[in-house]
Amino acid sequence: MYAPDKWTYEGIAFYAKLPINGVCPDASVPVYRVYNNRWRENDSNHRFVTSVREYQAMTAKGWVGEGVALCAAFGGGD
């Protein structure tokens, strides 16, 4: 039954590891989060980036840097 005013569990989309003191465990890369700080305009938004250069560029443009939000696994794929 669909209920537009209720949350619907959609399953697990992905797994990620949490950083410990801002550091990701081996075999993972940091995923940085930035916030546009537009809550007053009702236009809040977050972006997630794995590039520290992109993170720094966005904070230089006024986005709020929130540090490492999660750690994404990496490794040799087929």
User: Domain spans of the chain?
Assistant: 28-73
Percent of the chain with pLDDT over 90: 58
Residues 58 and 37: beta-carbon distance below 8 Å = no
Mind giving me the DSSP string for 25-63? PTTEEEEEEEE---GGGT---EEEES-HHHHHHHHHTTP
- Note the pTM of the prediction, 2 decimals: 0.74
Per-residue pLDDT, averaged over 11-38, amounts to: 91
pLDDT of residue 2: 60
d(CA 77, CA 39): 40
User: Locate tokens 């986005």: which residue?
Assistant: 63
pLDDT of residue 78: 43
Q: Is the pLDDT of residue 29 over 90?
A: yes
